Chain A
Amino acid sequence: MRILDTFRFAGQAATGTPLRTGLLILAMSIGVAAVVILTALGDGARRYVVGEFSAIGSNLVIVLPGRSETRGFNPANLVTSTPRDLTVDDAAALLRLSGVERISPILIATTEINAAGKLREAMLLGTNADYVRVRQMKMGLGRFLSKDEVGHGSAEVVLGALIRQEIFGAENPLGKTVRIGDRRLRVVGVLSEGGRGMGMSSDELVIVPVATAQAMLNTNTLFRILVEARSRDQLGEVKTRVLKMITQRHEGEEDVTVITQDAVLETFDKILNVLTLGVAGIAAISLAVAGILVMNVMLVSVTQRTGEIGLLKAIGATSGAIRRLFMVEAILLSLTGGMVGVGLGYFGASILRQLYPTFPAYPPLWAVAAGFGTALLSGVIFGVMPARRAAQLDPIQALSKR
């Protein structure tokens, strides 16, 4: 029997029972679609986090007070209990290192902004003029903080887009005075909308010179120091130099943690990849169930078509030909299920992207291939037994059955 004829006959056999075939394909496709959608979610989460970290800026070395601190932002860091605080002087010393392009000291606190009779809570960020370039932010209006001598806090403030909108509305805020805490500050610029990074939106920030912030909060410690290396290749050297310099300045005690963005990214990448694999594994279970369903349907089919199998044998079909017919039918069923499933999966992922535009839920190619491959493989594996049973039927008994 020719291969093309085998496929045609098996296809006709499958379409001969449309309901059963349809349900089987549905089950198989749900399994494949589950793999595709869940991995799209997992991989989307990975991309989202990686994207967030990339938004911090490239070539960055981040200095945190304390050893191996991994808590991220926490108000407790402001009243820090580490032996020696990071200071503005530390930051200034880092700027003199070779390979360092810019530095940005960072101080963060929650505060209230009060202007035009409106009061709003906001996130206060104390930093320097270079921050806008280190973080690669864009200005919506006006300019960023002016470059001033470290230690002389000028009374300037840059507003986040949301703060500006809620306080000033359509009015031009440039040159207006706002009250933050107990200080009156002049608005010199507004950030453009949609800046993100480190898990917070820049839309709700009020940015003031670091000295002003320290004075307002009556502290001289820093939350972070961002160090921008001249190039990506120098990142490693700069990291070592930064650590050495701070250790030196802190009387030989290594009481800071220096991380590069790469290291953070790598960790998240790893964690989320494992997560994606995990959900893919869970989804694969449903595929195995669908495979067993293929076997069940094929066994029922063999029983129902006993007479037909007997006839085929009587008119000259070899056992091999009958085994191939049933194998091909099982493979066709799982192949169709797999294809429909991949289609459903991509459709589901695109709906997810429609619902959450910031979430890049694209199914990774390896997962699509694996889901489809598993579907096909389970069809083959679970098709063997029914096909063998069909091939082994005794033609006389098969023919006597109706």
Chain B
Amino acid sequence: MTAESLIELNGIERTFILGDSKVHALRNINLSILPGEYIAVMGPSGSGKSTLLNLIGLLDGPDEGTYRLEGRDVTTLDPDELAAVRSRRIGFIFQSFHLVPRLSAACNIELPLTLAGIPASERTTRVSQALKEYGLEDRAHHRPNELSGGQRQRVAIARATILRPAVLLADEPTGNLDRTTGEEVVRLLEALNAQGMTLIVVTHDQALGARARRQIRMEDGGVVSDITSTESPVQAT
């Protein structure tokens, strides 16, 4: 099982120092995540779920413990190597979309390709393909402020997935959207998961969390429950 794991966390500890008090954001986290899983991480504010997400996304490192991504120990990598891994293997989706306001939808989607140094001709074809897939063709040259919330999140999802990452990390992806558009975005993410992309969603929303096959509940920096729905075909293996 270890060999097949996409993400393998062992004894992860993370403490922050706020003023003169120590905050234990993560305590002794042991997680094994398989490729193609659909996971919801839930818990109250300050339970460490965002810290966990940042850690999995390589934006933050553990104080103790090991993290293996696709069998490779990523805790020892230098910052530039981490950036390369983030670029190719991890996609981020944020509650507030984080689109670059002065760039058009197409340019926002193109950004990871540009940063990865992919030639312009290839970028154009991949971006136009992504625009088609996400139904944004007629919005390609609009700036984020000319787009609706749902469209903005679709641009953000297109940007996160343009380099075909192994893991998609979504932090409250529907937090800034109304119910209908939120539903749309979730279906989009689930479709990507159905194509084999591992999806990890951090959310407060019980209804959204309930849709995931595996639900991880956190409190005070520790995992308190890790339930996998039995009817899930993925978990059966």
Chain A contacts to B: CB under 8 angstroms: 1-2, 5, 9, 12-13, 15-16, 307-308, 310-321, 395-396, 399, 402
B94 adjacent to A317 (CB under 8 Å): no
A-B contact pairs, 24 of them (CB 8 A): A1-B115, A1-B117, A2-B117, A5-B120, A12-B103, A13-B102, A15-B102, A16-B101, A307-B98, A311-B94, A314-B57, A314-B92, A315-B86, A315-B115, A315-B159, A316-B83, A316-B88, A316-B112, A317-B83, A318-B83, A318-B84, A396-B54, A396-B59, A396-B60
Flag whether B10 is at the interface (Cβ < 8 A). Answer: no
Q: Which residues of B approach A to under 8 Å, CB–CB?
A: 54, 57, 59-60, 79-80, 83-84, 86-88, 92, 94, 96, 98, 100-103, 111-112, 114-117, 120, 159-160
A402 to B99, CA, bound (A): 11
A5–B103 Cα distance when bound, in Å, is 14
- Shortest beta-carbon distance, B53 to chain A, in Å? 10
CA of A317 to CA of B80, assembled, Å:
8
Q: Are B115 and A321 in contact (CB under 8 A)?
A: yes
- Report the nearest A residue to B159, measured CB to CB: A315
Contacts of B101 in A (CB 8 A): 16
Neighbouring A residues of B117 by C-beta, 8 Å: 1-2, 5
Of B86, B100, B103, B116, which contacts A314 at CB under 8 A?
B86
Complex interface: chain B residues within 8 A of A308 (CB): 98, 100
Q: Which residues of B contact A5 (CB under 8 A)?
A: 114, 117, 120
**Complex Cα–Cα for A13 and B111 (A):** 13
List the A side residues contacting B80 at CB < 8 Å. 318-320
Chain A residues whose C-beta falls within 8 Å of the C-beta of B111 in the assembled complex: 312, 315
Collect the chain A residues with CB atoms within 8 Å of residue B115's CB: 1, 312, 315-317, 321
How far is it, in angstroms, between the C-alpha of A315 and the C-alpha of B94 when the chains are bound? 12
How far does the Cβ of A56 sit from chain B's closest Cβ, in whole Å?
64
Alpha-carbon distance between A9 and B100 when the two chains are bound, in angstroms: 11
Q: Which residues of A contact B120 (CB under 8 A)?
A: 5
| Minimum Cβ distance to chain A for residue B182 (Å) | 20
Give, as a whole number of angstroms, the nearest-CB distance from B19 to chain A.
Answer: 16
Question: Are B102 and A12 touching (Cβ within 8 A)?
Answer: yes
State how many angstroms separate the Cβ of B82 from the closest Cβ of chain A. Answer: 9
Contact of B79 among A9, A319, A402 (CB under 8 A): A319
Closest residue of chain B to A6 (Cβ to Cβ) is: B114
* CB pair B114 A316 closer than 8 Å: no
Closest 4 CB pairs of A and B: A316-B87, A16-B102, A318-B83, A311-B98
Q: In the complex, A395→B111 CA distance in Å?
A: 17
What residues on B are CB-neighbors of A318 within 8 Å? 79-80, 83-84
* B102 and A395 contacting across the interface, CB-CB below 8 Å: no
Complex Cα gap A16–B143 (Å) = 12
Query: Considering the chains assembled together, what is the distance between the CA atoms of A314 and B83 in angstroms?
Result: 8
Question: Do B102 and A402 have beta carbons less than 8 Å apart?
Answer: no
- The CB with the most chain B CB atoms within 10 A, among A9, A312, A316, A320, is that of A316
Minimal beta-carbon separation of A398 from chain B (angstroms) = 10
Query: Could you tell me if B59 and A315 are in contact, using CB atoms closer than 8 angstroms?
Result: no
Would B83 and A313 count as touching, CB distance under 8 A?
Answer: yes
Min CB distance A175 to B, Å, is 84
In the complex, the chain A residue whose C-beta lies closest to that of B57 is A314
CB distance from B191 to the nearest CB of A (A): 21
For B59, give its contact among A2, A307, A314 (CB under 8 Å): A314
A313 shortest CB reach to chain B, Å: 7
In the docked arrangement, what's the CA distance between A329 and B185, Å?
Answer: 36
Q: Complex formed: what's the CA distance from A247 to B84 in Å?
A: 89
Chain B residues in 8 Å Cβ range of A315: 86-87, 92, 111-112, 115, 159-160
Contacts of B84 in A (CB 8 A): 316, 318
Measured CB to CB, the nearest residue on chain B to A12 is B102
Query: Closest B-chain residue to A307, C-beta based?
Result: B98
Contact A399 B103 (CB under 8 A): no
Q: Is the CB of A1 within 8 A of B87?
A: no
